[in-house]
Structure 1
Amino acid sequence: MKPDDVESGDSVKLGHPVTVSRYTLAARINHWITAISLVLLAISGLSLFTPKLFFLTALFGGGQATRAIHPWIGVVLFVSFSILFIRFWRANLWKSEDGTWLTRVRDVLLGHEERLPELGKYNAGQKFVFWAMSLLIIVLIASGIVVWETYFGTATSINTQRIAIIVHSLAAVAIICVWIIHVYAAIWVKGTMSAMTSGEVTGGWAWRHHRKWLRELVAGKRAGGTPAE
């Protein structure tokens, strides 16, 4: 049985330099569909949220078109992230080293990674983003359905819809903040962005940032099989 940190497609490729397959093509496509959907939802949602940003509706064909398209993009986001969740939830389970990582977050910011514990495929910050996204997307799709007048307008009362739109707006602001943290962290840790474009990282990168995960992959390879199997 493979460790929780090892996902389908993870493997070590010997060479000069050693490379590590971190994300499959399917996982990368899944990620970028989710990311693009979230950005489109943020832009269209903000354009409907305040008159000062209404000019952004021009990107979607005007106000009425934006109002019609916005919830459908939400459906795409929900379906895409659901698939992403199934792919990655096990590797995002909390481990004892994650608590240690959090207590030493100052060393993370200062780049003193030699003082950090050995980590699996994801660190505590990445896991926070994953679970925060999971919760907020559920809140967004649930509250969004309540205020989707075209199909569900008569299913709930006006007061319920008013509460739902407030909840929806607050969750949208929260998920935009989480997304900003995610993007900033990806840029901050050199090599993270390329991992989600090429699917691979160097052995040195894996050793520096996710040593426990690399050890598990190498152990699986030495055992005579690929860890992903």
Structure 2
Amino acid sequence: MKRKIALVTGGSRGLGKEMAIRLAEKGLDVILTYQGNKDLAKETVKSVQEKGARSVALKLDLTDLSGLSAFTGEVKESLESTFENPGFDYLIHNAGMGGTIPFETATEDQFDAFMNTHYKGVYFLTQKLLPLMNNDGGIVTLSSGTTRFVNPGYSIYASMKGAVETLTKYFAKELGHRGIKPNVVAPGPIETDFNNAAIRNNPQLKERLSGMSPLGRVGVAEDIGGVVAFLCSEDARWINGQRIEVSGGINV
């Protein structure tokens, strides 16, 4: 029986790296993407391989969508050469960019960069890769707790995440005939290097956000990776079109 394969965008570090490792622990092979740091991607590939899974890292820049067709070709080639499999099973949209941008000073260039990475890229990358996806798999898209509660400076980021939450419901309706189950995972505040490590580098912010959770802390990458891996398993076969917030109960 062939091993199932997951493709994780932005899988070289942070949440994506943890997802890749947890997927490998569940017996999946992993294709991961990176934007600029090839060395970090190689380290993650090695970590996945140490779990007994096959893995490969491919470059993907979602700020420039003109490369999606070429990337799709690289995925097809890797499936055949590395995994000896014509298709993959799970697509995890994790790649992202952060930034605290007040509404009054936001620019069109900033808006367009977030749009490409967080919404338009998700939309058209899914469309391009769909012919390579096996039936009865799934799509997991990372959203944000800020689609439910407001954090000033996140008007661009959160509105794009709100868009992919709606898009996920349409994926569920339009791809259901193939048994593909799309879901959203929405983390709360996570201490990683996202958004220039805003939480890690700001003790006052970390303390304030920790106080908003009944559990008294912010999240870490390990809190998210296992949830994504679960959604890419048979145990989650009846979860479809859902938004799952993984935030420690912040602003409950």
TM class, shorter-length: under 0.3
Structure with the greater alpha carbon radius of gyration: 1
TM-score, structure 1 as length reference: 0.27
Higher normalized strand content (fraction of residues):
2
With a CA cutoff of 8 Å and minimum separation of 6, indicate the structure with the bigger relative contact order: 1
Higher normalized helix content (fraction of residues):
1
TM-score, structure 2 as length reference: 0.26
